[in-house]
Structure 1
Amino acid sequence: MTKDPRQRLKDRRILVIEDEYFLADDLKRVLSSEGAHVIGPTGDRAEAIKLIDRDGFEIAVIDINLHDELAYPLADELERKGIPFVFATGYSRDVIPDRFARVLRWEKPYELRGIVDGLVGLCERSMRGVRRPIAE
Structure 2
Amino acid sequence: MDTSLSGLRVLVVEDEYFIATDVARAITDAGADVVGPVPQLDQGLALADCEQLDAAVLDVHLEGGFSYAIAESLTRRGVPYLLLTGYDSWALPEALQDAPRLTKPIQLRTLTAHLRALLGDAPCP
Q: Scaled by the length of structure 1, what TM-score is found?
A: 0.84
Secondary structure of the equivalent of 1:46? Answer: helix
Identity among equivalent positions (%) equals 33
Residue 59 (1) aligns with residue 55 (2):
yes
Post-superposition, which runs of at least 4 consecutive aligned residues in structure 1 deviate over 2 A?
Answer: none
Q: CA deviation at 1:91?
A: 1.2
- Pairwise CA RMSD: 1.2
Q: CA deviation at 1:40?
A: 0.3
Matched residues in 2 for 1:49 and 1:93: separation?
22
Residue 12 (1) aligns with residue 8 (2):
yes
Matched residues in 2 for 1:58 and 1:41: separation?
15
Q: CA deviation at 1:31?
A: 0.8
Q: CA deviation at 1:101?
A: 2.5
Gaps of 5+ in 1: 126-136
**Which of 20, 23, 33 pairs up with 1:24?**
20
Residue 39 (1) aligns with residue 48 (2):
no
Opposite residue 67 of structure 1, the aligned amino acid is E
Matched residues in 1 for 2:80 and 2:61: separation?
19
- Please tell me whether Structure 1 or Structure 2 has the larger radius of gyration of its CA atoms: 1
Gaps of 5+ in 2: none
Aligned residues: 121
Matched residues in 2 for 1:92 and 1:80: separation?
24
